[in-house]
Structure 1
Amino acid sequence: MVILSSCCGCVGLKKGGVIIAWLQMMISILCCPYNALLLNEILSDGSIFRVVLPIFSYFLLYGIYKNDPGCMIPSLIMLLTTSVLFIIFPIVTLIFYFADIMEYISEMVDEKTFDGITILSFAMAINYVCAALILYLWFVLFSLYKSMRECNNKNAAASSRRARSITSNA
């Protein structure tokens, strides 16, 4: 069962997966100087995702190029976790820190131009668009994972049947 048959409606799953993996790798490389600074603070602020992103990107690329769906699992878990966090954290933050957020926004912005609710709504909308994009990328990679796994299972079954037929004929 493959969820999607193509990426963005016009690119095959494998090519879309490669594009996503290379973009993920480029983003992780661009963030390397920042990641190096975070190595000292991993345990204190929980920034483990920024440090392991290059490693997960490499495994994702390796899994796609070598047709090994097992190597894609770390990236699938990371993308799904990231999208869930993008959905949950703003809600939790609003529940517990609404007054503080509104006070901060009112200090930063001229109230005649924008009110705090408008800015907060815009920020939440951008956040949820990012969450939807990350979730779509996860669906593309998960569909690629499922199709690679099904293909590998069919190939393994076919080679097993061939091996049995060869040994029974001998």
Structure 2
Amino acid sequence: MNEVYILGGGRTDFKRNLKKEGKTIRHIIIEAGKKAIDDAKIDPAEIQAGAVGNFNAGQFTKQLQLGAFIPEIDPKLRGIPTMHTEAACASGALSVLLGAEWIIGGFYDVVLVVGAEQQKTMSALDGSDVLGAAADYHNEKPEYGDFMFPKLFGRIAQIYIEKYGA
């Protein structure tokens, strides 16, 4: 089995409001990707594939196919296979797992993984509704109503407290 190592990482400021900056999710993918490559101290030409983890950019930003922005990080990345993963709160972790599987499976030796979110594009109520798509929306929305995800997490906490007395 091939061993997997994380060679570098980079992150952007979570509190930024890209919409107010006139930027899109594309910009954050490029910025984070450049930081990760710089931190890893590798030549981008060594990267053989890429993955972007994100939850629901299609609804938040009207942008899909996020993996297509990886080649914009550096011209040396043009032509590599890229993709986008989505798994609600685990979207970034799923991209890391995918990259590891590509290496373990012997498909590639060096993979770039980027996680990116842009969710400050609408009102809190509308954003909460978009986040609710990660739940069983049509069955749980009638029960939990607006701000479904915070209410679901609150219910989980309540059940935990009742069961464990914490």
Please report the TM-score for the alignment, with normalisation by the length of structure 2.
0.25
Please report the TM-score for the alignment, with normalisation by the length of structure 1.
0.25
Largest Rg, 1 or 2: 1
Higher relative contact order (CA 8 A, sep 6+): 1
Higher helix share: 1
